[in-house]
Amino acid sequence: MALTEEQAQFIESFRVYVEDAVQADDRYGSVTRHDREDGSALTLRFEAGPTCWLEVAVRPIVPEVRVSFLTNDPLKSEEVEQAIQDTGDSMAEVVAGGFGAAGLDWDKPPVEQYCEAGESFYFATPLELDELADLEWPKTRDKVVRMLEGYLVAFGSAIVMEDIE
């Protein structure tokens, strides 16, 4: 699916908004863009430790925005899963708690766990959009920034910012 110029502008404006919204917050590491060549995922990736990142990915074909915590370290992924199990809460409850701390009321957010290409381990919550123009709505933008902060809170124990140079 080729994006129209207008759709590409919606996505770029949204990504700049998210980058700017957290730029002054030192809880987030540096941001890089990781876009798939086929345009199926246009991703902002914030450093969250030597092997961890927080992501905001626009998936235009679906359309949706997916907020994630990911690691390329299988041991870190297992540690995160074990830490959540040790709380006695489900993954959704832990993420909902993070969302609540970020000012977002979402009692049972979907949380998907998956491994991509055998090397990236994801914990992700999708936010469905009716259309890409929804990225322009202040309500959508605010919700995504709060989701990102919620993931930062929920997975904070796995984030080791002092190791980032």
pLDDT of residue 42: 96
**What local confidence, expressed as pLDDT, does residue 160 receive?**
60
pLDDT digits (tens, 9 = 90+) for 92-123: 999 999 999 999 999 999 999 999 988 899 99
pLDDT tens, residue by residue, 107-164: 999 999 999 988 899 999 999 999 999 999 999 999 999 999 999 999 987 776 444 4
CA 79 – CA 90 distance, rounded (Å): 15
Q: Which of 36-40, 78-82, 142-146 has the highest mean pLDDT?
A: 142-146
pLDDT value of position 1: 62
Q: How far apart are CA 70 and CA 77, in angstroms?
A: 8
Which residues are registered as beta bridge partners of 53?
Answer: 47, 70
Enumerate residues 6+ apart whose C-beta is below 8 A from 111: 91, 92, 95, 123, 124, 125
Domain ranges of the chain: 5-160
13 Cβ neighbours under 8 A, 6+ residues apart: 135, 136
Contacts of 20 (CB under 8 A, 6+ apart): none
What is the fold, at CATH topology level, of the domain defined by 5-160? Yope Regulator; Chain: A, (3.30.1460)
The mean pLDDT of the chain is 92
Among 103, 108, 139, CA closest to 125: 108
